[in-house]
Amino acid sequence: MKANSALRLPKLDERLELIANLVPKCSLAADIGADHGRLSCYLLSKNICNKMIVSDISADSLKKSKQLLELHQLDHLAHFVVADGLEAVDRPVDIVIIAGLGGKTIAGILREHSRIQDAELIVSAHTNLPFLRETLTNYSYSLQRETVVRASGRYYTVIEAVKGENFYSPKQLYVGINLCDSDGHTLIDYLSWRMDVISATRTPQKEMYLGWLNEEIDRAKHCN
């Protein structure tokens, strides 16, 4: 059965659009915490992923995903699973996407990383990014690139990671690894915003963090 081409695809916000653009063509991907299913619907309709595991811990959320994919006649390409994190992955996958959760929550999900073997990770957390980076390195992931995007007035960082050797300095774990953006100006705005946030705190490491962020801003300016 072919997808219903007469229907308009659900609109992706800037964050989901960025994630979709980062997913390479693959046989099977897993969307963990799929929620409304818009990302899965897009990836399947564009033939970026041949098939997908579409999972959420909430049965109600997963029902919305299933209804959306049924509407677009894509449900036969999806395996819907109500599950906690990576428990949904019961077969080898090429890509695992985890987005829209806090950094500590994603780090907790990744405790089961052995279930996904050598799959590439695309993760986006809205909190506790240094903790998430450190967790990924502890689980032997190499952080390939981090892309910053602004959506609905908020900054998001999308991390691409693969299994491999790694060593990162405390500065890299705090600031980010191979930071970039998709439009040439969001990265500097994001780093400046982070400087404003840390300036308002009383953390003992404040001056060190500000120095690191300022160095990254200088680097970003010379890259543009």
The per-residue pLDDT for range 7-62, each reduced to its tens digit, is 788 899 999 999 999 999 999 999 999 989 999 999 999 999 999 999 999 999 99
pLDDT value of residue 223: 72
**Terminal Cα distance for the chain, rounded:** 46
At residue 128, the pLDDT reads 96
Residue 4 has pLDDT above 60, yes or no: no
Going by C-alpha positions, the residue among 107, 155, 167, 113 that lies closest to residue 131 is 107
Residues 222 and 177: their CA atoms lie apart, in Å, by 17
CA distance 198 to 192: 10
133 pLDDT above the threshold of 70: yes
Residue 186 near residue 148 (C-beta atoms within 8 A): yes
pLDDT at residue 65, rounded to an integer? 96
pLDDT at 182 over 90: no
Residue 44's H or E segment, with its range, is helix 38-45
Judge whether residue 186 has pLDDT over 70.
Answer: yes
Closest CA to 179 of 32, 20, 171, 140: 171
Read off the pLDDT of each residue in 162-188 and give the average, rounded to a whole number.
94
Reference 191, options 148, 160, 161; nearest CA is 148
Instruction: Give dist(CA 92, CA 117) in Å, integer.
Output: 7
Q: What residue ranges in the chain does DSSP mark as E strands? A: 26-32, 49-56, 78-82, 95-101, 120-125, 141-151, 154-163, 179-181
Q: Would you say residue 2 has pLDDT above 60? A: no
> CB count, 10 Å around CB of 187?
27
Q: For the chain, give me the number of helices (H) and strands (E)?
A: 8, 8
Q: What is the mean predicted confidence (pLDDT) over 178-189?
A: 91
pTM (2 decimals)?
A: 0.94
Residues 6+ apart with CB under 8 A from 196: none
- Average pLDDT of 116-137? 96
Cα separation values, 197 from 12, 103, 184, 192, Å: 28, 18, 22, 9
φ, ψ at 160 (rounded to 5°) = -105, 125
Q: How confident is residue 221, by pLDDT bands cut at 50, 70 and 90? A: confident
Whether 78 shows a pLDDT value over 90: the answer reads: yes
Mean pLDDT over 93-99 rounds to 97
pLDDT band at 5 (very low <50, low <70, confident <90, very high): low
Q: With H, G, I as helix, E, B as strand and everything else as coil, classify residue 219.
A: helix
Q: What is the pLDDT of residue 6?
A: 62
